[in-house]
């Protein structure tokens, strides 16, 4: 019964009924009590009538005082309640809007929504400009996010979460979109547990979302070219392979490495190199479809994923188009750059089914393309895997070769053509492998350069030659020995130039007894560190020779720029010379040019008497080759020196 009355009668009605009840009770008590008292005290009707009038007046004043007291007490209590509610509402509003959030209050049965002034301010609307319903609010939500918002509300109402939380984009008055974090909770429920009222906030998280997007972009895209980086590439490659497993399609992977990019970077600077990489990225994107992926793996390495191309003809067409596009000149500022690329290709599932193995296979194929002359594409084959394993074993063995004293120094004499006397020799390194026997430099020097081991190997070779020269300087004071110095050694962070010079000083040797042989390609590298090293060698008295002249990229301008002492004609010219042949004409031109520039000439690869005579008649200064001697050990070279001192000539 009490519950029935509480549901049917409001608090205000109860207060009024209480006052009326008190008034009725007091009135009845006054009438019955005062009338009985007057009847017992007064017998005269006239006196009773007069006193009854006074009693009525007194009743009016007493009841008025009573009503005043009751109403004053009730209104004061009501005012206190209202003030408390107002303070509570202000504290609630401050708590919700204090952080800058917009407040909303949703009456669910009627769909009426109250939105605070701060809410309107966030999205640029005037107060009450948006219809005060939840339906009108949902019309402002981005179409792509509306389903997520509705799902989050339903999950909250279903009890799947304690607090309603949702993130979505809301349209502002100016047409822009703001990312919004909505949070709320039910504050009133029906008897059967249905939500009746819900309050919450909207927080502008646009800046946070923008920052998250930037972090995601930094983590998945290359900052220089804007292409996907290795992380995103691997993720896409895995997804493409999963899709191919379901559909039975082929996935083709191309691994690209720019040819001679380091030379461009070193000679023209990193700014030009970066500009080149950007242009390369754009050209690669133009060679494939939007559904394909072009990624930058790092440095000058790129990868391309081709999906749903089952024709080898189409794959090769794309590869050839890439080669053609990248051989076209790049106009970068005032520079015109010419580069090319080498491409390795592997296919899923033919070459493997694992991402990392497919990537490794394409990488191996790319290296084969480089070895075959660059600017070409090469498919992966199982033979490449075998070669890669051999290379890995070779690298592993090289690491221990120095510590195990497996390297040997061989000397090949350089003969003065006019007299046949030996005044010079070239120090050549050989590797005495414990199981493979004597390994030539062509088999391990390229690997040593790729791994950086050439720096330590080169230092070891120079130290060995210097120590040997200490023994020879008393008997052969004018002997000069040339030592090859790789471009990798010149670019090394280790200052082995100073180490070499300091070693000579420690041993009391003169730099005049040493020749540093460099490649033509190094002349293109005009960086300060290379120039300063060459100058330091010359200041120490050492001579500079260009090895394999005619096969690289040097020009007369570079020969004039650097102070070169010797030019060594490559064996590819001398091995085929005959009277009036084109190779002979080239040799004569090189000899004449070098002499006019003040340089001596050494002909490599001399193997016959005819070659020797032709070169001597062309005024070539020195010759080196199997006609005189193959590379020999220290003891054999000393015997040769002693023999020539006795007979004076090898001619």
SS (H, E, C) 298-359: ECCEEEEEEECCCCHHHHHHHHHHHHHHHHCCEEECCEEECCEEEEEEEEECCCCCCHHHHH
Neighbours of 132 (CB within 10 A): 17
Percent of residues, the chain, with pLDDT higher than 70? 86
Q: Residue 550, SS3?
A: coil
> Which tokens belong to 345?
């290709």
Determine the average pLDDT of the residues in 245-259: 94
Q: What is the pLDDT of residues 407-425, one digit of tens each?
A: 999 999 999 999 999 989 9
CB 108 within 8 A of CB 193: no
* CB within 8 Å of 563: residues ≥ 6 apart: 534, 538, 544
Confidence of residue 497 (pLDDT cuts 50, 70, 90): confident
Determine the average pLDDT of the residues in 248-259.
94
pLDDT band at 4 (very low <50, low <70, confident <90, very high): very low
Residue 118 gets the label, from left (phi > 0), alpha (psi -120 to 50) or beta, of alpha
- pLDDT (0 to 100) of residue 7: 47
pLDDT tens digits along 97-133? 556 789 899 999 999 999 988 899 999 999 889 999 9
Q: According to the model, what pLDDT value does residue 142 have?
A: 96
Q: Looking at residue 649, what is its pLDDT?
A: 46
Distance (Å) of CA 112 to CA 154, 156, 181, 406, 601? 18, 19, 21, 89, 98
Higher-pLDDT residue of 190, 645: 190
Q: Quick: pLDDT tens for 445-475.
A: 988 988 889 999 999 999 999 999 999 988 8
- pTM score: 0.55
CA angle 32/34/40 to nearest 5° reads 100
Domain at 99-208, CATH from 3.30.390.50, 3.30.930.10, 3.30.450.20, 3.50.50.60: 3.30.450.20
pLDDT over 60 at 556, yes or no = no
CATH ID of 392-649, from 3.40.50.300, 3.50.50.60, 3.60.20.10, 3.20.20.450: 3.20.20.450
Same topology, domains 99-208 and 392-649? Answer is: no
Quick check: 68 and 76 in contact, CB under 8 A? Answer: no
Q: How far apart are CA 498 and CA 541, in angstroms?
A: 13
How many residues would you count in the chain?
Answer: 651
Span 571-584, average pLDDT: 89
Task: Report the distance separating Cα 598 and Cα 564, nearest Å.
Answer: 9
Q: Is the separation of the CB atoms in 234 and 205 below 8 Å?
A: no
Sorting pLDDT into bands at 50, 70 and 90, what band is 77?
A: confident
| Domain limits, the chain | 99-208, 220-380, 392-649
500 touches 534 (CB < 8 A) = no
- CA 25-26-29 angle, 5° bins: 85
pLDDT: which is higher, 540 or 3: 540
pLDDT digits (tens, 9 = 90+) for 23-73: 677 777 766 676 666 666 666 667 667 766 776 777 777 777 777 777 777
Q: How far apart are CA 590 and CA 606, in angstroms?
A: 16
CATH of domain 220-380: 3.30.70.270
What are 592-649's pLDDT values in tens digits? 999 998 999 999 999 999 999 999 999 999 999 999 999 999 999 999 988 876 444 4
């Amino acid at each position: 019964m009490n519950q029935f009355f509480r549901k049917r009668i409001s608090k205000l009605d109860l207060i009024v009924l209480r006052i009326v009840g008190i008034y009725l009770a007091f009135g009845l008590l006054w009438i019955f009590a005062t009338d009985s008292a007057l009847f017992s005290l007064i017998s005269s009707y006239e006196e009773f009538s007069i006193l009854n009038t006074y009693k009525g007046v007194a009743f009016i004043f007493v009841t008025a005082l009573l009503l005043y007291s009751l109403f004053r007490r009730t209104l004061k209590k009501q005012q206190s309640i209202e003030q408390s509610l107002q303070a509570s509402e202000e504290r609630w509003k401050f708590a919700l809007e204090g952080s800058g959030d917009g407040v909303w209050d949703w009456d669910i049965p009627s769909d009426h929504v109250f939105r605070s002034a701060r809410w309107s301010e966030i999205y640029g609307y005037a107060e009450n400009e948006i219809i005060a319903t939840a339906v009108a609010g949902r019309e402002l939500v981005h179409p792509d996010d509306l389903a997520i918002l509705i799902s989050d509300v339903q999950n909250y109402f279903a009890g799947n979460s304690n607090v309603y939380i949702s993130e979505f984009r809301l349209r502002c008055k100016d047409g822009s979109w703001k990312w919004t974090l909505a949070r709320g909770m039910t504050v009133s429920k029906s008897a059967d547990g249905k939500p009746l009222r819900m309050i919450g906030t909207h927080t502008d998280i646009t800046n946070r979302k923008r920052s998250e997007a930037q972090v995601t972009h930094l983590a998945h895209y290359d900052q220089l070219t804007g292409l996907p980086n290795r992380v995103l590439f691997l993720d896409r490659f895995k997804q493409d392979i999963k899709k191919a497993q379901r559909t039975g399609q082929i996935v083709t992977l191309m691994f690209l490495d720019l040819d001679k990019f380091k030379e461009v970077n070193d000679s023209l600077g990193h700014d030009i190199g970066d500009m080149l990489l950007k242009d390369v990225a754009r050209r690669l994107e133009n060679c494939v479809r939007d559904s394909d992926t072009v990624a930058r793996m790092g440095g000058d390495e790129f990868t391309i994923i081709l999906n749903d191309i089952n024709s080898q003809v189409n794959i090769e067409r794309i590869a050839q188009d890439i080669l053609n596009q990248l051989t076209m000149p790049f106009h970068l500022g005032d520079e015109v750059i010419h580069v090319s690329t080498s491409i390795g290709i592997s296919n899923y599932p033919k070459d493997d089914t694992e991402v990392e193995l497919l990537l490794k296979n394409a990488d191996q194929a790319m290296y084969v393309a480089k070895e075959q002359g660059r600017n070409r594409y090469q498919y992966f084959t199982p033979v490449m895997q075998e070669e890669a394993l051999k290379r890995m074993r070779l690298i592993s063995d090289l690491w221990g070769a120095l510590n195990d004293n497996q390297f040997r120094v061989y000397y090949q004499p350089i003969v003065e053509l006019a007299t046949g006397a030996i005044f010079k020799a070239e120090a050549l390194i050989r590797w005495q492998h414990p199981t493979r026997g004597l390994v030539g430099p062509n088999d391990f020097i390229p690997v040593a350069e790729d791994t950086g081991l050439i720096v330590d190997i080169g230092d070891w070779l120079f130290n060995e030659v210097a120590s040997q020269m200490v023994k020879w300087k008393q008997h052969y004071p004018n002997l000069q020995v040339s030592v090859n110095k790789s471009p990798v050694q010149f670019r090394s962070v280790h200052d082995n130039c100073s180490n070499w010079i300091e070693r000579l000083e420690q041993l009391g040797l003169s730099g005049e007894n040493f020749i540093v042989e460099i490649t033509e390609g190094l002349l293109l590298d005009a960086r300060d560190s290379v120039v300063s090293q060459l100058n330091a060698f010359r200041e120490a008295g050492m001579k500079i020779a260009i090895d394999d002249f005619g096969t690289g990229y040097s020009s007369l301008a570079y020969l004039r720029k650097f102070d070169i002492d010797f030019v060594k004609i490559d064996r590819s010219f001398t091995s085929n010379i005959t009277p009036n042949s084109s190779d002979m004409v080239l040799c004569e031109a090189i000899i004449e040019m070098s002499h006019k520039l003040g340089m001596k000439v050494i002909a490599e690869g001399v193997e016959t008497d005819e070659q020797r005579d032709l070169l001597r008649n062309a005024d070539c200064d020195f010759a080196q080759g199997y006609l005189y001697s193959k590379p020999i050990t220290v003891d054999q070279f000393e015997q040769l020196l002693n023999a020539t001192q006795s007979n004076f000539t090898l001619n």
